[in-house]
Amino acid sequence: MKVVIPVGSLETGGGCKTLVDTANALVKRGHQAEIVIPNGMPIKYPVHAKVRTVPTLSKDYIPYGDIILANYYITFLPAFQAWPQQVVRLCQGFEPYWVPDKDFATWTYNQNVPIISISHWLNQQIVNAVQKPSSAVVNLGIDPQIFHPIRISKPKRKKKIILYIARDPNLGYAVKGFSEFAQAMKMINRKYKGKFIVHLICPENRLRLPGIAHRVFQPQTDVEMANLYRQADVFVSSSRAEGYGLPPLEAMACATPVVTTNSGGVMDFAAHGHSAFVVPPLQPRALANGIVTVLKNKPLSNRLVQGGLAASRRLTKPAFEHNIVHALQVIHRYRVNRS
């Protein structure tokens, strides 16, 4: 089986990493995989599959494959124009919720091609929009060789560490909720009696929290990310919408309690009061209350750690690799048998 994956770029980010993991998993299991990417676009992850650079992502530059895995609304059109019978739609986020051309984004889900979603929430959004369920739901997973707890007690510190991944709203990442997190931190700064510092992971620009003690990190590897998770007393996610939300699961795997918004796909593994403290999106006060509650309530924090560890043991990268390749094989076999 040959799978062609057209991409706009492979910059740092969960969606791009998933595409590389998918290509590498196919190669590992004896299939052909080819990533098609425009000239000059970044490739931030090690790719074991063939990489074809092209002048532009148009139908003339999409090579034939048994499956063309279109993974974003913009990459869907050239893939569908080139090989409509081979296209499979991978949904990592329901684009009609945030892209400017909502009608076009919805159209890409309304074609007669199989869809693979990475969460049950995403599958439900597709059903709601086009009355068509996904052919398969394949949850993402963490690499247990990297994201795992260390078997020593965290050192006692005078300051609690609040860890947050700060995506730049000015670069199109407003949906990640940095503004709500900043508002929540102002509330905590006024009301929380203990000392704390915010560790900001900034993949793009170095963002700031004026008046609040913080440090900025730009980790380059998953190992560095795992170390930051382990150092933290709480990891916070304030996204308004997530197709899945891998960072909270990574934090859980590192035995760090999680406070997260009910942003969609995260609910495949975040159970309120069991594996995470879950609050509504777009409510900074609720987010602040959740953070303070976890920092002050040690029994709750311990319970979230144990529940998070259980969730992360169930949702691993090897399981994802097996399931995504299996889903593509099933679709390919069905097409071959039908033809």
User: 97 pLDDT exceeds 90?
Assistant: no
Q: Convert the pLDDT of each residue in 201-229 to its tens digit.
A: 998 899 999 999 999 999 988 999 999 99
Kindly list the domain boundaries of the chain, sorted by start residue: 2-141+317-338, 159-314
User: 153 pLDDT exceeds 80?
Assistant: no
3-state secondary structure string across the chain: CEEEEECCCECCCHHHHHHHHHHHHHHHCCCEEEEEEECCCCECCCCCCEEEEECCCCHHHCCCCCEEEECCHHHHHHHHHHCCCCEEEEECCCHHHCCCCHHHHHHCCCCCCCEEECCHHHHHHHHHHHCCCCCEECCCCECCCCCCCCCCCCCCCCEEEEEEECCCHHHCCHHHCHHHHHHHHHHHHHHCCCEEEEEEECCCCCCCCCCCCEEEECCCCHHHHHHHHHHCCEEEECCCCECCCHHHHHHHHCCCCEEEECCEHHHHCCCECCCEEEECCCCHHHHHHHHHHHHHCHHHHHHHHHHHHHHHHHCEHHHHHHHHHHHHHHHHHHHHHHC
pLDDT of residue 156: 66
Q: Convert the pLDDT of each residue in 117-131 to its tens digit.
A: 999 999 999 999 999
User: 27 pLDDT exceeds 70?
Assistant: yes
User: 154 pLDDT exceeds 60?
Assistant: no
Model confidence at 338, in pLDDT bands (50, 70, 90)? Answer: confident
Model confidence at 151, in pLDDT bands (50, 70, 90)? Answer: low
State the average pLDDT over residues 165-181: 93
Q: Convert the pLDDT of each residue in 229-245 to its tens digit.
A: 999 999 999 999 999 99
Architecture of domain 159-314: 3-Layer(aba) Sandwich (3.40)
Does domain 2-141+317-338 fall under CATH 3.40.50.2000? My reply is yes
pLDDT of residue 141: 96
State the average pLDDT over residues 101-107: 95
pLDDT of residue 249: 97
pLDDT of residue 12: 79
* Report field, pTM of the whole predicted structure over 0.85: yes
